[in-house]
Amino acid sequence: MPYEKEMVRNWRVMADQIKGTELEPLAQLAIMWLGVFFAVYAARKTKLTPVLYFLFVGAVLVNVGVLPKETSPFIRGFAEVGIVVIMFAIGFEEKTSNFITGLKRSWGIALFGAIGPFVAAYSVAQYFWGDTNISLMCGLTMTATAVSLTLVSLKAEGLHKTRVATGIMTSAVLDDIGSLALVAVLVPLATGGGPVTIAVVGWIIVKVALFFLGVVGLGALVFPHESTGLMSRLPVLRKFGVKHVFALANGEHTTLVVLTIALLVGLAAHELGFHPAIGAYMAGLVLKEEYFSFLRGSQENQFGKTKSVVDDVAFSWIGPIFFIDLGAKIVFDADLIISILPEVVILIISLFIMQVLSAGLAARYTGGFSWQESVMIGFGMLGRAELAFVVMDIAYVQNSILSEQAFFTLMLTAFWLNIAVPITITLWKPYMLGAKNQP
C-alpha cells in the first residue's frame, strides 16, 4: 500500500537523522507513541486485543530499521515501569468482593483449565527442545488467560453480563495468581546456575509464602479504615487506614498514592527475588473500592477517577511501550520461522484441544454450568495476552532462559490463539443461546 510505504519511509528518514544524538531515546519514544495510535485503531476495527498490534508495531519498526535492535536504556526503563503499572492496573480492576464470591464456583475451572495448557505446552517443548527450563517457561507462558480479550469479544456479542463471563473472569484471575506464584518459584530456580536442592526449593517456597501472606496482611490489617485483631489495640494505628492517606489534600494525590503502593510492594517482591510485576498485581488486588470513601458521597467518583487515570497510564501511554519493545525483539528470519512451523502448529493444536477440554469439563462438573456454557468457557479461555508476554519478557529478554526458537514459537502460538477467541465465541453463540442444536 503506497501510503503505508511512504509513512515507513518517512519514519526511517527521521530515524537516520537523529541517530547518535542526545534526542535519540526521545525520538524512539515518539515513534512508539505514533505506533500506539495505529495499534488502538486497528484493534477497534478488528475487535482484537491491542496487545497483538503493539507487538506487531514493534516487530515492523525494528525490521524496517526505524527502531534499533537494541533499544536504549531509557526505553527499556520506560518499558519496565510499563510492566509494573500494567500488572497493577489488572489487579486494581478486579473487585475483591466479586473475586471472593466467584471462588467457590470457579476454582475447578481455574485449576484444571491451567493444568491442561501447562502440561500441553511443557510436553511439546520438552519433545522438541529437551530442556526442562525452557519447557517450564513455555508451560507458564501458556497458563494465564487473557481476560480483556475475552470480555471484549463477549461484549461484542452481548454476552458480557452472563454467568459465563463471570466464570471466565474469576477463573482467569485465579489462573493469573497461580501463574505469578509459579513464576516467583520457577524463575529463580531456572536462573540459579547451580544444582537444585530441596533446601533451595524450600527456601524459595518459604519466600513466596511470606510475600503473599504479607500482601494479604496489608489488605486485612493495614489498609482497612477500622483495624482488627492486634492492630485494633494499637492507640495510633487502630483508627488509621489507607483512606486517610488517600484523603490528603481532598484526594488530589490519590493516583500518586496507589501507584506508590504498587511500586513499594513491587520493590518488596524484588528484594525477595521475584519480579516487581508480581507485587504490583497483588497490591492492586487487595486495594478495595471502599477505601476511596474518604469524602461523603465520593467513593464511586474518586475510585472511578483514580481507576481511569491508572488505566490511561497502563494501557495508553506507558504500558504499550513494554509490548512494543518486546515486539522489537522479533527480528524476522525467514529460515527461522520456516524451521519452527512444525512446533507452532503442534503447539497451537495441543493447546486448543487441552484448553477447551480441561476448562469445559471443569466448568461442567465443578462449576455446574450447562454443556453449552461450558464449551463457551473453554473457548473464552483460549486467549493469551498481558501476563503471557510478561512471562516471555522475564524468561527471554531479562534472563535468557528461552531460546530464540522457543520465543518465536510462543509468540506465534499466542497470536493465533488470540485470533481464535472472537471467532469461536461468535460461532458458538447460537448454540449457547439455544438458537441451534448443540452438535
pLDDT in tens, 297-319: 555 577 888 888 888 888 888 88
C-alpha cell at 350: 495441543
Please give the share of the chain, as a percent, with pLDDT higher than 90.
Answer: 14
Higher pLDDT, 387 or 353: 353
- DSSP-assigned states of every residue in 232-250: GGSTTGGG--HHHHHTGGG
> What φ, ψ does residue 304 adopt, rounded to 5°?
-65, -40
Q: How many CA atoms lie within 13 A of 370 on its CB side?
A: 10
3-state secondary structure at position 266: helix
Predicted pLDDT at 420: 86
Per-residue confidence band for 357, with pLDDT thresholds at 50, 70 and 90: very high
Predicted pLDDT at 207: 78
**CB under 8 Å, gap of 24 or more: what pairs does 183-188 form?**
183/140, 183/274, 183/275, 183/278, 183/391, 183/394, 184/208, 184/211, 184/269, 184/273, 184/274, 184/275, 184/278, 186/136, 186/137, 186/140, 187/274, 187/275, 187/394, 187/395, 187/399, 187/401, 188/273, 188/274
Average pLDDT over every residue of 254-283: 83
C-alpha cell at 145: 488467560
* CA 92 vs CA 40, 55, 95, 424: distances in Å: 22, 24, 7, 29
Predicted pLDDT at 295: 57
Per-residue confidence band for 94, with pLDDT thresholds at 50, 70 and 90: low
Per-residue confidence band for 2, with pLDDT thresholds at 50, 70 and 90: low
Contact 124, 346 (CB under 8 A): yes
C-alpha–C-alpha distance, residues 164 and 96, integer Å? 19
- Characterize 104-133 residue by residue with b for buried, 16 or more Cβ atoms within 10 angstroms of its Cβ, and e for exposed: ebbbbbbbbbbbbbbbbbbbbbbebbebeb
Predicted pLDDT at 171: 80
Angle between helices 404-432 and 132-141 (to 10 degrees): 30
Higher pLDDT, 16 or 430: 430
For residue 232, is pLDDT > 70? no
Average pLDDT over every residue of 167-173: 76
Contact 428, 373 (CB under 8 A): no
Please give the share of the chain, as a percent, with pLDDT higher than 70.
Answer: 78
Instruction: Mention every residue, 6+ apart, whose C-beta is less than 8 A from residue 30.
Output: none
Per-residue confidence band for 226, with pLDDT thresholds at 50, 70 and 90: low
Least confident of 117-121, 236-240, 326-330: 236-240
Predicted pLDDT at 126: 94
Contact 332, 400 (CB under 8 A): no
Express each pLDDT in 184-214 by its tens digit. 777 777 776 555 567 766 777 787 778 878 8
Per-residue confidence band for 346, with pLDDT thresholds at 50, 70 and 90: very high
Per-residue confidence band for 231, with pLDDT thresholds at 50, 70 and 90: low
Express each pLDDT in 126-136 by its tens digit. 999 999 889 99
Sign of the four-CA dihedral 58, 63, 69, 73:
negative
Most confident of 150-159, 171-180, 318-327: 318-327
For residue 173, is pLDDT > 60? yes
* Domains of the chain, first to last: 2-432 (1.20.1530.20)
3-state DSSP of 149-198 = HHHHHHHHCCCCCCHHHHHHHHHHHHHHHHHHHHHHHHHHHHCCCCCCCH
For residue 352, is pLDDT > 90? yes
Instruction: Mention every residue, 6+ apart, whose C-beta is less than 8 A from residue 14.
Output: 27, 31
For residue 170, is pLDDT > 80? no
Express each pLDDT in 14-64 by its tens digit. 556 555 554 588 888 999 999 999 988 988 887 677 877 888 898 889 888
Most confident of 39-48, 118-127, 257-266: 118-127
- Characterize 296-315 residue by residue with b for buried, 16 or more Cβ atoms within 10 angstroms of its Cβ, and e for exposed: eebbeebbeebbeebbebbb
C-alpha–C-alpha distance, residues 279 and 295, integer Å? 29
**H or E element, residue 375:** helix 371-380
